[in-house]
Structures are given as structure tokens and as C-alpha cells.
Amino acid sequence: MTVPDESLFTYPWEARAIKKRQQRNEAIPEEWRLRQNLLGSLKTPLERCKNNLMELNLVRQSGILTVKELQITESSDVTSLLEALASGQLTAEEVTVSFCKRAAVAHQLTNCLTEIFFDRALERARYLDRQKGKGQLVGPLHGLPISLKDSFQIAGVASTLGLTAYLDHRAESNSALVDILLALGAVLYCKTNVPQTMMTPDSHNFVFGRTLNPWNTSLSAGGSSGGEGALIAMRGAPIGVGTDIAGSIRVPALCCGTYGFRPTASRIPYGGQHGCADEGLAQILPCAGPLANDMKALSLFVKAVLQAKPASYDASALDVNWRDFQGQFGRKLRFGLLPEDPTYPLHPPVRRTVAEASRLLQASGHEVVELQSAECRISEALQVAFALFALDETADGIVKAAGEPPIPSRIRIGQELGKAPQQFVSDLRNLSELKQLSGLNLKRQELISDWCRLWQKYEIDAVIGPGGRTTAIEHDEFTLPPYTVLMNVLDCPACIIPFGRVTASDAAERLDLQPGQVVPSYNPLDLEGIPCCVQVFTSKMTDEKCLYISEVVDKCLQAKESFVVARDADA
């Protein structure tokens, strides 16, 4: 490895960051590295050129995975994969090798990984196979490879969070969820990229660089769990675990076309994370949750973790076991339809997708009640959330002390916040920080109380609506997340369900903004073929209900997708 000459760089940390990046890349075995002629087929620079990695199918073209390894990573949903592992049809070692190879390829194309420890994973897989040979399954996730966002700590593995200040950090112990996943039989093999400070929806930092969207490398993969979104989309992991404080699981899911679940805070254990925030100022609690390529995988993951009694691993976790909702609805469901907020209009493909999902649910016999924007208070929730986030200057201080400039998406968020309305919190602006904190907590409780009345008023089982104002969008432009941070303010479980793509016909619909409206520019030709989605959420502590209803919605929507695919194939 060539050591960079520190005299050549503007910032004192640059040489160390480049060295860290080189060490990561050299952890990929030589025989798993992409041929230069394959990479040469892509338009460059990747982050400014439209490359659809999914359609190009470079994973197959690479020749790195065998036919069986391609089948393991592409053909199986998580339930089938676990059944094959439990029956002995597949070994933990061959499944782990398959996903390590695929993760290696995904990383070389999208820059999604931060830490690579494939050798350690293979040792773990061989141990699990020995236990299976003795007739013992270690747990319900026996042999299942799972990727983790960089903030999760694994003893002996670095956790830099993409911050040069943390380049020397190496975990001494496991996060609580890591201990649970190991007890359940999982195999951990890589960690994934995040933004600087983990407080923007674009996974870019000066240590590892920018994660690219597999559907279009000129677009954002989302954040802050963007590495997970890209890795899962490329089937480099059967399940990945992200975290969410304003949409950080759901934004990458919607950008990359995967499923993603944000649970009620503290149900999935969050303890032992490596962070860059003041935990004493955490009013809106971050939470951990899964991303996957099939809906049932989300329920399977959550159920397995909750049945492991997380409170015995993590003092901050709620001691509430999995509660089965299957079969509890002997009737059609009643949905509230989340409206556009007047300040934050939707891009045409998002508006069309939500309307089509509503139509299909009604065609299946479910009720859909249109909620009113004034009572949903989306803008007010965003104002409260970002005012609370602004009280904690810890991350900004860490970045400045290390001499790093802010990444572009952090600058863009600040610019957009300056344009967004602040009337709901403006009366707190000149108060002391303690008084501001008190006032913001009271305003948050007002929103929670209003939504409590709203659930009762309409007698709805769940709410369906957009995951964001946009689909995936140009790098650094996703900015504010009003349609996801609402659930963090309310602490409601929420699920992203992929549904359809941006079509050529979407370009015909204009986006005409009214005074005071805030939304990224709409460039439909850049977005054609990008995944669309809907979001489903239920009231606080009804995670199992949210997952069950999301499965109902998914089946309804995917039935339409299957019909369209079959029709197009016949044509």
C-alpha cells in the first residue's frame, strides 16, 4: 500500500483518510475485484453520470459469483434462505461466501461499505456449520449474513462514522443488538457508509466518500443509512440494519427501492452505538430497524429480536415481547390517506404513486379516508424536530475541531431550512436554551395529542402516504424529510414499501410551485426508471400491527405489479 505524502493535501487529515480508504479496499480479496474493462464500460465520473447498475447487471458479468452463488443471493427470500440453512440444503459457509462476494462487487460499484471483515465472518460461518453438524441450530437466524450501519459497534472493528476525528476509534465491546444477532445465529461481515454527522439524507463523508444509487449513480442513495440502502438493493445482504431519527432507514429504502422499517423507539435495542451526539439532549430518540428486499423479512427480523428479550441486553430497551397480529383482522382495513402539506408539495411521480396505491386498496375492498393537511401538521412536526436537533451542537463541534469542512448536503439543508416556515416555533427563538427545550417538548406533545385524537376521530387502522417529497434525487438535493420525520416526532412505527417506477409519462406533468412552497427541482429525465414507494404507519407501540398491515398493502400493490409485468411479457 502506497502511503500518501501529507504535504500534498489541503487538510492535515486527508492523508490519513486516504490511507483508511485504501485499507478498506484492500480487505477485498484480489480474486473478488472487478476487472478494469468491466469498470471501463461505465460512464464517468460515476456520481455525475447516469449509470443504471441494476439494468447493466454487472454482478453477473463480473464472473466473480458462481451460478449457485447467484441463485443464493438472487432467488431466495429470507424465509426460504433460513429454511435451506436449517435443513442443511445450504451451509452457512457457502451462504456467507455468496453474500461476501456480492457485497464486495456492490461496494466496488456504489462505495457502500466502510468496514470489511469477511475472514472473521467465514470463521463464524464454519463454527455455525460445526454446530449444525452436531444437530444444533444456534438460533432462528442461524447462518444468515446481516450487514450493519457503521454506527453499530463490533468488538475489535473500527467505527469511524466517516469522521476524521474518529479515524483511530476501534470498538472494545459490542452494541446490544450485535450481541443479540450473534445469539440468534447471524453472521456479521461488513458495515456500511453514512453521512458526515449522520444528520443528512445523503451518505457522503470525507473518509469514505459518497455512496451511489444503484439505479442511477448520479442520484443519491439516501441517508443516513445510505450504505445499507445501496447494499440491499444490489442484494449484497439479505437483511441490513440501519438507524432512524428523521427518516434515516426509510429515505435510503425509498431511494434504493427496498423495504425499510422504523420501529417505535427502544423496542429494537439501540444501546452501545458509537455516535456523535449528546445523548443527554436526545428528545427524539433514534431507533434501529431493518432494510430488506422482501416484506416478510422485516417481520421475521423484528420478531426474532423481540423474542430475544432485548431489555436483558440493553437497559434502554423496552421489555415488550413480540405480539402476534396475524388473524386479528377479520375485516377489511380502514386507512387514512396522508395529504400533501401545502409547504412541501410532492413531485409528480410520488403523487401518482400514492394515488394509485389508494385506488388499488379501495379496489380490494379496503376503505381510504382522506385526511386534511391542517390536522396532520406535517410542517409543524418538521419545525419542532429540527429545532430540537439544533440544540445539540456536538457533531458540528467534532467536525470543526478536526478541521473538516461541512459536506455539501449539510449546507443545502441549512439553506432550505432558511426558506421553510418557522411560525410554529418562532415564539421560542429568543428564549434561553433550557426554555427553548421546554417549549419544544410542549409543542411536540401538542402534536402527539392532536394525532391521538385524529386516530380516534377517523377510526383508522393505519395511514398510507408518501415516503418523501421526491423519489431518489440528485446528490445533496434530498434535504428536508417532512414525510418521514413526522413519525419520529410522533414515535410511530412506519414502513416503506416499494411500488412502481418513475415513467416517461411522468415528465408530461409539470411541477408549478406556489409562493412559500419548498421542494427540490423536478428533473424527470434524470429520474426515469427510479423506484417509487408508499409509506404505511400506525400509532405508537403497534409495531406488529404496522408490519402486518404493511404486508397486506404490499400484497395488494405487488399483485398489480405482477399483472403489469406479465402483461408486458405477453406483449
Q: What is the pLDDT of residue 327?
A: 63
Query: Which run of H or E residues covers position 568?
Result: helix 543-570
Does 506 score more than 50 pLDDT?
A: yes
Q: What is the pLDDT of residue 7?
A: 56
Active-site residue among 159, 248, 358, 550? 248
CA distance 155 to 158: 8
* Mean pLDDT value of segment 539-566: 86
How much is the pTM? Answer: 0.96
Q: What is the pLDDT of residue 73?
A: 98
Does 567 score more than 70 pLDDT?
A: no
**pLDDT digit string, tens, across residues 413-424:** 999 999 999 999
Closest CA to 487 of 532, 440, 542, 438: 542
Q: Which CATH class is domain 18-273+283-312?
A: alpha beta
pLDDT band at 446 (very low <50, low <70, confident <90, very high): very high
Q: What is the pLDDT of residue 1?
A: 47
**pLDDT digit string, tens, across residues 89-136:** 999 999 999 999 999 999 999 999 999 999 999 999 999 999 999 999
**pLDDT digit string, tens, across residues 251-291:** 999 999 999 999 999 999 999 999 999 999 999 999 999 99
Active-site residue among 98, 147, 224, 409? 224
Q: What is the pLDDT of residue 8?
A: 61
Q: How far is CA 441 from CA 282, 395, 425, 444, in A?
A: 11, 22, 11, 5
Q: Which residues are annotated as a binding site for substrate?
A: 198, 224, 245-248
Q: How far is CA 64 from CA 32, 262, 513, 561, in A?
A: 6, 34, 48, 31
Residues present in the chain in total: 571
Active-site residue among 149, 191, 443, 545? 149
pLDDT band at 10 (very low <50, low <70, confident <90, very high): confident
Cell numbers representing residue 325 in the block: 397480529
* Mean pLDDT value of segment 487-512: 95
What is the CA 439 to chain-centroid distance, rounded?
Answer: 31
Q: What is the pLDDT of residue 331?
A: 80
CA distance 73 to 57: 13
**pLDDT digit string, tens, across residues 350-400:** 999 999 999 999 999 999 999 999 999 999 999 999 999 999 999 999 999
Angle ∠(125,131,132) on CA atoms, nearest 5: 90
Cell numbers representing residue 363 in the block: 379496489
- Which residue ranges make up each domain of the chain? 18-273+283-312, 334-503+525-551
20 is catalytic: no
* Mean pLDDT value of segment 18-38: 97
Q: What is the pLDDT of residue 75?
A: 86
Position 299: which residue type? S
Q: What is the pLDDT of residue 325?
A: 81
> Is the distance from CB of 497 to CB of 293 less than 8 angstroms?
no
Mean pLDDT of the chain: 95
Q: What percent of the chain has pLDDT over 90?
A: 93
Q: Which residues are annotated as a binding site?
A: 198, 224, 245-248
562 is catalytic: no
Closest CA to 230 of 245, 215, 241: 215
- What lies within 8 Å, CB to CB, of 11 at 6+ separation is 403, 404
Does 30 score more than 80 pLDDT?
A: yes
Q: What is the pLDDT of residue 569?
A: 45
CA distance 534 to 549: 13
- What lies within 8 Å, CB to CB, of 48 at 6+ separation is 218
pLDDT band at 566 (very low <50, low <70, confident <90, very high): very low
Same fold: 18-273+283-312 with 334-503+525-551: yes
**pLDDT digit string, tens, across residues 172-225:** 999 999 999 999 999 999 999 999 999 999 999 999 999 999 999 999 999 999
Closest CA to 267 of 303, 217, 226: 303
Q: What is the pLDDT of residue 571?
A: 45
Closest CA to 90 of 117, 98, 31: 98
Does 2 score more than 60 pLDDT?
A: no
pLDDT band at 4 (very low <50, low <70, confident <90, very high): low
Q: Reduce the DSSP state of residue 127 to 3 states and report it.
A: helix
CB count, 10 Å around CB of 86? 15
Angle ∠(4,6,10) on CA atoms, nearest 5: 120
**pLDDT digit string, tens, across residues 166-183:** 999 999 999 999 999 999
80 is catalytic: no
Out of 3.20.20.60, 3.40.50.2300, 3.40.50.300, 3.90.1300.10, the CATH code matching 334-503+525-551 is 3.90.1300.10
* Mean pLDDT value of segment 145-172: 98
Q: What is the pLDDT of residue 262?
A: 98
pLDDT band at 565 (very low <50, low <70, confident <90, very high): very low
